Structure 1
């Protein structure tokens, strides 16, 4: 932790909780108390002015709230004459006084403590006889901005979040994206806009529909501040998990940011920022999570609104909703005529290839590629996330592609860009070093095909394709039914009268690349093997898939047989020597 005094203080509180609380529950007490003490210190200097303003406005019969924000010189306020130090003066009524103090905060701050379910912890601490002791601990630590800056406080709080996520029995990855993955995504997001972002007075919006504890928003804000301290990033987010939502809002509040744009709820079934569009977006939605609980809402929107809603291009299978988040982000893009948008989203391998032509997944890929929205897909190493060891991919999506990228898609294989972690965290055993992040960013920025050398063999790490290279037509190949004498059976009625009756047991399908003429392909690949075959054009479907790994496969010829034989002989000879030694 960046501040060793704060670190030792936090763990001294943990020592108090030991025995009455499990390790995994420490965060439920320490995080909200840390927020409370920080806000307590921030409001200390303006407390008399706020109380005076409240008395004045209430006497005049005027709603005091707007005046109280101005008097507090913050985006929030507290109207109680109490603070944590004053609470120490009444040991016997600490619980009810603490509740009254919390209730006197402005609504957006009360919402944080309600989402933390802090009242439950007050009850539990009271029963354990710990409430006064814990409150006293926090009342005696100085978290005033003059002592601990917003940046320092933000760092301490983020490290606490990480620490408690590790201790928790819950999967840390549900609430937390590794920092180096976020840094990579942020680099890729801003790379072509560095010049624009360094102009004075720049204001940009950033949105995360699966905000978690706010890590993506925080890292993006830090990155922009490093480019241009005068730039301002207005941040928006939505989060489903109440505790993560509370932590996200608390983290932003601690850093002095407006928390009015962080919404609670399920982004897919209840978009909390309806009609809003953003300059930049980042998301790490849950991998492979089914959407059965909200299926009715999703299907209703898709059917009633079509392309005027979020899900016009198609719906993936109910067992994996990650592509729904992709479509949600597309709907949040600022129109290209207004400057457009760019976003990064982490997905597993399934959205690249699951579903044949005409399926929901294929139709979503078709929409993305035919509308030229995908700039690049970066394959990350396995074992990068806390809750899964599977392969993951970062999609960079934009409706304002630079001229050189138009009509094209870049694939970058960064699966070998990793270093081993000193200590594994859940499923996370690997991490990206700053050098790896720089190299991936360079490959993306240069937009060129590139190879690396592996034992004298060039291995591709960056490849560039036309969008249509990923498209194909699935054609249905029919063959005639024949009678016992081997004669073709002809239909006797309907539109097909006089034509051969197809034999369903001989029916087959072929995938023909979009770049190739179907009939040319059919003559070359099918007719030489089945001269009586024909295409049922009514059943032809267009599909898209991105077989990522296939494009980076390098054939390794097997070793010479003589070499393998010699190795086997050596092993056999050693075994025989050992056996002879045992029987001697």
Structure 2
């Protein structure tokens, strides 16, 4: 008897994505995301408005129904009649529906100063989405019941899912607005941003902030004890971040405008307790020859090379850490061993006891590149101290003269067929290793130990002996290979050999086709 296949029921996010994506037509994903996410925001804002309106009616305050203050006092955005979802749905089949949506978004910004610069500007009229498709899209978004289950944050889930799907759809060279959630969760679980100031100098769509708040909530903390600061260079991504945070009721200072963090720092005097970031990898020509040479952010270090911004991002973050500040950020692996000014800066970072952990991630975790990348953790206070997280106290031993190296390339699970992600269990286990390493000897926490092919605690003297290279494979023991072979170098060599073989194969095919053509045969290989 044939085994019956039980088809897994699709989630609301999946169903909405399928429906919305079918309506895209010829519009690029990079543009279409602002249309869809703008409508999700409109639906959310309108549902919140209608709920507050019902509360005012129940309280006998009908005369205040059109007064902004009675909505703003409950952190609800005020919407005039033509900005409300019910009005747009009623007019969904009209020829000017695109203009009506643009007008609604514009009016919401005008009526709510906290949303200034946040919403899509004339996208709907400009893109020329077919009237029937735009009407169908409104019907699709209308299915989201944002008030159904407060504990599930339905609209936040949908928004996050759509951001990830758009990043996947845009692929290599685009999609930089989104950092895969499991990487952000890992950084949050490691540096534990519980109370104080959080900063992201390249905040994309705001994912680092969202996961920070989720970390706080999961440990029964208060959003009121966190202040969020960020900066984003691309104007459309800046809008995504403001919408993403507004949907979740998260207050943030993202600067007056979208701006370049290096040439137009929006938070010059900031001192942050936590920094979480995924800056652009290997950014070239980030400054002109004589530009930013006296910038105070490089004070005490060499000037970062203009050919690559990796160390400029590092020093920007170092300059903004408070005395007890911790930073967790992602960089391309090349930053672990570069020469020249990068070497001098890296050496000084180690000598100044700022580098706490270097964590190599698996390949194919990012939607924009398939390279393996690194999580760096810098800590301004690696000495023994105690810190409260919720109702627990975490004790730290003095690790000033040590750096933890971790290699996670054998960890992860498949995601969307060709990508890798960490499961919740992976994240907990990795973070546990890191926190056990931080814990004092003889404490209640399980004691840390070096594990071949996974982790190693190196002394500053060992790092100096390796000429301040921070490549984990130089320290972690690999039992299945000759210890004199550098894994990363060998992999680069193998990749080069494979590339040559593939080129030779293509050449052979071409030569074979030429032979058959001379013989009068047309053959496809």
TM-score by length of 1: 0.67
Q: Which residue of 275, 287, 290 corresponds with 2:269? A: 275
Q: C-alpha deviations, 1:174-214, integer Å up to 9, x for none?
A: 22222222222111102xx8xxx5xxxxx422111121122
Equivalent residue number for residue 334 of structure 2: 350
Cα distance in structure 2, aligned partners of 1:381 and 1:247 = 28
Residue 442 to residue 418, structure 1, CA distance change in 2 (3 Å)? same
**Which of 166, 169, 172 is the equivalent residue of 1:167?**
169
Match of 2:18 among 11, 19, 22: 11
Q: Does 1:123 align with 2:117?
A: no
| Conservation of the 8 A alpha-carbon contact between 2:363 and 2:373 | yes
Higher alpha-carbon deviation: 275-284 or 172-181: 172-181
Q: Distance in 2 between matches of 1:227 and 1:11?
A: 35
1:331 aligns with 2:347: no
Q: Where does 1:150-189 land on structure 2 (aligned, <5 Å)?
A: 151-169=153-171, 171=173, 174-189=176-191
Provide the residue aligned with 1:465 in structure 2: 458
The answer (yes or no) to whether the contact 1:94–1:131 under 8 Å persists in 2 is no
1:307-326 alignment to 2 at 5 Å?
Answer: 308-310=296-298, 312-326=300-314
**In the alignment, is the contact (CA less than 8 A) between 2:98 and 2:124 conserved in 1?**
no
Is this contact kept in 2: 1:373–1:397, CA < 8 A? yes
In structure 2, what is the equivalent of residue 577 of structure 1?
Answer: none
Q: Aligned-pair distance for 1:164?
A: 1.6
Structure 1 residues 387 and 156 mapped into 2: Cα distance closer, same or farther (>3 Å)? same
Could you say which residue in structure 2 is the equivalent of 1:301? Answer: 292
Tell me the number of residue pairs that the alignment of Structure 1 and Structure 2 aligns. 442
The offset of 1:547, in angstroms, is 4.4
Which residue does the alignment assign to 1:94?
A: 97
Distance 2:29 2:78 in 1: 33
- Correspondence 1:198-277 to 2 at 5 A: 203-230=195-222, 232-261=225-254, 264-277=258-271
Aligned partners of 2:236 and 2:400: how far apart in 1? 43
1:445 alignment partner, one of 399, 416, 435: 435
Contact 1:408 1:466 in 2 (8 A): yes
Measured on the aligned residues, the alpha-carbon RMSD in Å equals 3.5
1:546 alignment counterpart: 470
Distance change (3 Å), C-alpha of 1:68 and 1:170? farther
| Structure of greater Rg | 1
Q: Tell me the CA shift for residue 421 of structure 1.
A: 0.9
Q: 2: distance between equivalents of 1:155 and 1:360?
A: 43
Structure 2 Cα separation of the partners of residues 451 and 311 of structure 1: 36
Q: CA, structure 1 residues 276+80, in 2 after alignment: closer, same or farther (shift >3 Å)? A: farther
Displacement of 1:171 in angstroms is: 3.9
For each residue in 1:256-301, what CA deviation from the matched residue of structure 2 results, as whole angstroms up to 9, or x when unmatched? 11244465222122111221111111111222121x15335xx543
Task: Give how far 1:158 is off.
Answer: 0.3
Shift of 1:72: 5.8
Alignment of 1:33 onto 2:39: yes
Q: Write the distance in 2 (CA, Å) between the matches of 1:254 and 1:206.
A: 19
Aligned residue among 106, 113, 117 for 1:111: 117
Rounded Cα–Cα distance in structure 2 between residues aligned with 1:78 and 1:2: 36
In structure 1, what is the Cα distance between the partners aligned to 2:186 and 2:142?
39
Paired position in structure 2 for 1:374: 355
Following superposition, the deviation at residue 74 of structure 1 comes to 1.8
Task: Give the superposition deviation at 1:317.
Answer: 2.7
1:4-56 Cα offsets, whole Å, 9 max, x none, are 446434533443443x5356654232111111111122222456989977988
Contact 1:172–1:387 (8 Å) recurs in 2:
yes
CA distance in 2, matches of 1:224, 1:311: 33
Kept after mapping to 2: 8 A contact 1:80/1:101: no
Partner of 2:381: 400
Q: 1:301 to 1:211 in 2, by over 3 A?
A: same
Q: Which residue of structure 2 lines up, in the alignment, with residue 68 of structure 1? A: 69
Distance 1:406-1:8 versus aligned 2 partners, 3 A rule: closer
Q: Is the 8 A contact 1:204 1:279 kept in 2?
A: yes
> What are the ranges of 5 or more consecutive residues in structure 2 without an aligned counterpart?
1-7, 385-396, 438-446, 484-525
